[in-house]
């Protein structure tokens, strides 16, 4: 029950569930060129956006707590949806800490430097290596290297996880050249600063949600043990891999270790060293951090485990406090949608494929692992297929839909949350035909879900966490594709485009509320969901996009 502006009771009560379907990476754009959403055959999405209440929600910049003009991402998109409010994200917190020098005043940085000076050892930096600003920013790392030199740290090693996903797909050498120039300037001053190892972020080290621990093992061998394929420089490694596989993107490059003239690795990790993982986003930093710090580790055979001082840019796992040492403290969010629903006795079902499962659980729940209620909640993780997603762009949308429909019809759950990863995961490949197929697979899933919701007497909310699939090439000023060597330049990164929010409601309840006009974003979803559940939105949340009649 909710109370209207006039004081009269207005009841919204669905026989079936309130279903929130997140079409990951499906943004809105008027352009046709490179737009897999508009080029796909999508009769169900067309019906939703043509005949039902539609809003274009902001999913980037200040609307999701990152700098204006910056694209959103899956982590902050789900976090903002689930929290019902705009929360300053880790990137802004880290930016401020670096710019003001606060990061260097903290005990973690002081201990990291003191340990290196005392042990006459090395300071290592590991992270996704670009200025993509989704998981990390290489300039944060360069600022730490500069401060390390000012504090007389003699040896520093950088382990680069090449991006090609949040930046152009073959831009690695641009960033390597910037880093090598910086390191050479320190070498000229008598410091021993070098690139030590690397590999593509989607093949080496940066796994997430435990879906591919061999990826972390490859990183361990490259960064920690120094036993990956040897090269004399990062440039030599990248150029060799490209010659061997001409179509390979940076994110898939194999692991490599840099060796000196004697053939020995220049930067394996030794006892007494300091290691800093400089990602400010948690999901692709947790597993390597776990391998470095957890005593009873059993995911792969580590071999020698060096005794190092290990620190993260932020705490990557708040429940297990991994890592124990962090450079920047995050904002703690309270009053999340999932917890509120459960506190009101509303049963919840949540599902996605493994690659996005953490987003509809951990991030949507306000960076909290586990369920709020074992009695009222059920989470189902659908294991990912193995291989490159563009080869099977439908992914497991059929399985997700099967289980969602089962729960919709079953009647046990009043709130259902499902994420379809296709748009983001396949969109990151920037291959048009697979991207179109991915969108069509999701549209088929939508059609099946709509029918099930109608049969159950429920309501379906359709949205996205950020854009991607609608802009698979870089666009010129007039909307045409930017060309290189006569071919469109693929765009693997997220976009700043708005995302759809549609309420598909064929019940009598649709006459009990009306569409509000306003400048809305992802943070307005939580209050809307609560209102459709017959609950009063929490005062901490941004307003709903509907009002009661």
Q: Give the model's pLDDT for residue 334.
A: 84
Calculate the CA 323 to chain-centre distance.
Answer: 19
Q: Is residue 504 predicted with pLDDT exceeding 90?
A: yes
Q: Give the model's pLDDT for residue 302.
A: 98
Q: Give the model's pLDDT for residue 8.
A: 44
Task: Give percent above pLDDT 70 in the chain.
Answer: 98
Q: Give the model's pLDDT for residue 10.
A: 62
Domain identity same for 283 and 381: no
| pLDDT tens readout for residues 368-385 | 888 999 999 999 999 988
Q: Is residue 5 predicted with pLDDT exceeding 80?
A: no
Q: Give the model's pLDDT for residue 234.
A: 98
pLDDT-derived band at 147 (thresholds 50, 70, 90) equals: very high
| pLDDT tens readout for residues 524-541 | 999 999 999 999 999 999
pLDDT-derived band at 2 (thresholds 50, 70, 90) equals: very low
Domain identity same for 201 and 95: yes
Domain identity same for 83 and 95: no
Domain identity same for 461 and 342: yes
Residue 29 annotated as catalytic? no
Domain identity same for 111 and 226: yes
Q: Is residue 107 predicted with pLDDT exceeding 90?
A: yes
pLDDT-derived band at 73 (thresholds 50, 70, 90) equals: very high
Q: Give the model's pLDDT for residue 3.
A: 42
Domain identity same for 224 and 243: yes
Structural domain count of the chain: 2
Q: Give the structural domain span for 157.
A: 91-326
DSSP letter string over 454-505?
HHHT-EEEEE-SSB-TT--B-B-TTSSBPEETTEEPB--S-B---EEEEEE-
Structure-model confidence comparison of residues 367 and 174, the more confident one: 174
Domain identity same for 153 and 260: yes
Q: Is residue 74 predicted with pLDDT exceeding 60?
A: yes
392-431: b or e for each residue (b if 16 or more CB lie within 10 Å)? bbbbbbebbbebbbebbeeeebbbbbbbbbbbbbbbbbbb
Alpha-carbon dihedral 29, 78, 286, 335, rounded to 10 degrees? 160
Residue 126, CA distances (Å) to 70, 130, 202, 316, 397 in order: 23, 12, 15, 14, 34
Structure-model confidence comparison of residues 81 and 210, the more confident one: 81
Map residue 159 onto helix, strand or coil. strand
Q: Are 346 and 311 in contact (CB under 8 A)?
A: no
Q: Give the model's pLDDT for residue 7.
A: 41
Q: Give the model's pLDDT for residue 454.
A: 98
CATH of residue 262's domain is 3.40.1450.10
Which of 326, 353, 371 is the last residue in one of the domains?
Answer: 326
Give every CB contact of residue 185 below 8 A, 6+ residues apart in sequence: none
Q: Which of 29, 74, 130, 352 is catalytic?
A: 74
pTM of the model: 0.78
Distance CA 319, CA 228 (A): 33
Domain identity same for 433 and 487: yes
Domain identity same for 320 and 373: no
Domain identity same for 419 and 306: no
| pLDDT tens readout for residues 177-189 | 999 999 999 999 9
Distance CA 249, CA 255 (A): 14
Domain identity same for 28 and 109: no
Kindly state the average pLDDT of the residues 6-26: 84
Q: Give the model's pLDDT for residue 42.
A: 98
- What's the chain's average pLDDT? 95
Q: Is residue 1 predicted with pLDDT exceeding 50?
A: no
Give every CB contact of residue 528 below 8 A, 6+ residues apart in sequence: 461, 503, 544, 545, 546
Which of 297, 326, 355 is the last residue in one of the domains?
Answer: 326
Domain identity same for 142 and 9: no
Q: How many H helices and E strands in the chain? A: 17, 21
Which of 326, 350, 379 is the last residue in one of the domains?
Answer: 326
CATH of residue 494's domain is 3.40.720.10
Residue 54, CA distances (Å) to 189, 498, 499, 501, 514 in order: 60, 12, 10, 6, 12
């Amino acid at each position: 029950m909710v109370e209207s502006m006039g004081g009269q009771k207005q009841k919204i009560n669905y026989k079936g569930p309130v279903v929130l379907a997140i079409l990951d990476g499906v943004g809105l754009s008027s352009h046709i060129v490179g737009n897999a959403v508009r080029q796909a055959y999508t009769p169900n999405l067309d019906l939703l956006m043509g005949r039902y209440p539609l809003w274009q929600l902001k999913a980037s910049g200040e609307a999701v707590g990152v700098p204006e003009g910056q694209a959103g991402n899956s982590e902050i998109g789900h976090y903002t949806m689930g929290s019902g409010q705009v929360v300053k994200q880790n990137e802004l917190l880290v930016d401020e800490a670096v710019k003001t020098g606060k990061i260097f005043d903290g005990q973690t940085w002081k201990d990291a430097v003191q340990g290196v000076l005392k042990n006459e050892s090395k300071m290592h930096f590991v992270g996704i290596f670009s200025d993509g600003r989704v998981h990390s920013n290489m300039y944060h790392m360069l600022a730490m290297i500069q401060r390390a030199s000012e504090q007389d740290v003699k040896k520093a090693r950088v382990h680069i996880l090449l991006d090609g996903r949040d930046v152009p797909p073959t831009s690695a050498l641009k960033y390597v050249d910037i880093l090598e120039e910086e390191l050479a300037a320190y070498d000229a001053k008598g410091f021993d600063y070098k690139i030590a190892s690397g590999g593509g972020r989607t093949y080496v080290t940066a796994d997430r949600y435990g879906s591919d621990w061999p990826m972390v093992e490859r990183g361990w061998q490259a960064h920690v043990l120094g036993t990956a394929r040897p090269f004399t420089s990062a440039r030599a490694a990248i150029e060799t891999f490209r010659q061997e596989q001409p179509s390979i993107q940076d994110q898939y490059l194999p692991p490599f270790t840099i060796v000196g003239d004697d053939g020995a690795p220049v930067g394996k990790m030794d006892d007494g060293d300091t290691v800093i993982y400089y990602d400010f986003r948690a999901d692709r930093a947790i597993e390597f951090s776990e391998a470095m710090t957890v005593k009873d580790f059993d995911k792969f055979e580590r071999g020698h485990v060096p005794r190092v001082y290990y620190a993260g840019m932020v705490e990557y796992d708040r429940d297990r406090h991994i890592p124990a040492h962090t450079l920047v403290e995050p904002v703690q969010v309270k009053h999340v949608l999932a917890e509120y629903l459960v506190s009101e006795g509303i049963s919840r079902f949540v599902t996605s494929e493994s690659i996005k499962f953490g987003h509809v659980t951990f991030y949507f729940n306000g960076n909290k692992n586990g369920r709020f209620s074992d009695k009222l909640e059920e989470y189902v993780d659908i294991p990912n297929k193995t291989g490159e997603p563009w080869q099977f762009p439908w992914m497991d949308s059929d399985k997700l839909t099967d289980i969602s429909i089962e729960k919709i019809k079953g009647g046990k759950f009043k709130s259902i949350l499902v994420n379809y990863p296709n748009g983001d995961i396949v969109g990151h490949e920037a291959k048009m035909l697979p991207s179109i197929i991915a969108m069509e697979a999701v549209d088929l899933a939508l059609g099946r879900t709509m029918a099930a919701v109608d049969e159950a007497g429920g309501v379906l909310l359709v949205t996205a966490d950020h854009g991607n699939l609608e802009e698979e090439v870089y666009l010129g000023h007039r909307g045409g594709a930017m060309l290189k060597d006569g071919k469109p330049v693929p765009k693997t990164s997220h976009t700043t485009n708005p995302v759809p929010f549609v309420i598909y409601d064929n019940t009598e309840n649709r006459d009990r509320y009306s569409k509000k006009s306003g400048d809305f974003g992802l943070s307005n979803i939580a209050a809307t969901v609560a209102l459709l559940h017959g609950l009063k939105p929490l005062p901490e949340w941004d307003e709903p996009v509907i009002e009661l009649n």
